[in-house]
Amino acid sequence: MFTLQQKLAQQEAELNRTKERIRKLENGQKIITGGMMLSLARKDTQRAKTLLEDINREVTKKADLDRMQSVIDELKAIISEANKTAYNNQQSAAY
């Protein structure tokens, strides 16, 4: 027979295990969602622009921005390349 303290400790341990499973699930979902968003942005310039705007608006901590810098640079490059292509197409159409 367990004491009340032992039962409480068991229930707290089970609660902590459940919280950890939930945290891992949520983190996995965030990683998958982020990967999906980057994949879509690489294929669609408008999505790249929107994602970059979202990052600029929502990511405010310097440490997070530092971690995101390579993604920010990639999105800017996608947008820049699309702008160059659009400009070149306009120039070609003018002749």
In this predicted model, what pLDDT tens digit does every residue of 13-31 receive, in sequence order?
Answer: 999 999 999 999 999 999 9
Within 13 A of 10's CA, how many CA atoms are on the CB side? 6
CA dist 61 and 47 (Å) reads: 23
The domain segmentation of the chain, as residue ranges, is 26-94
More confident residue, 91 or 67: 67
Q: What is the percent of the chain with per-residue pLDDT over 90, rounded to a whole number?
A: 85
Q: Is the full-model pTM beyond 0.85?
A: no
pLDDT surpasses 80 at 61: yes
Question: Looking at residue 19, what is its pLDDT?
Answer: 99
Going by C-alpha positions, the residue among 47, 14, 85, 5 that lies closest to residue 93 is 85
Going by C-alpha positions, the residue among 37, 55, 49, 56 that lies closest to residue 77 is 49
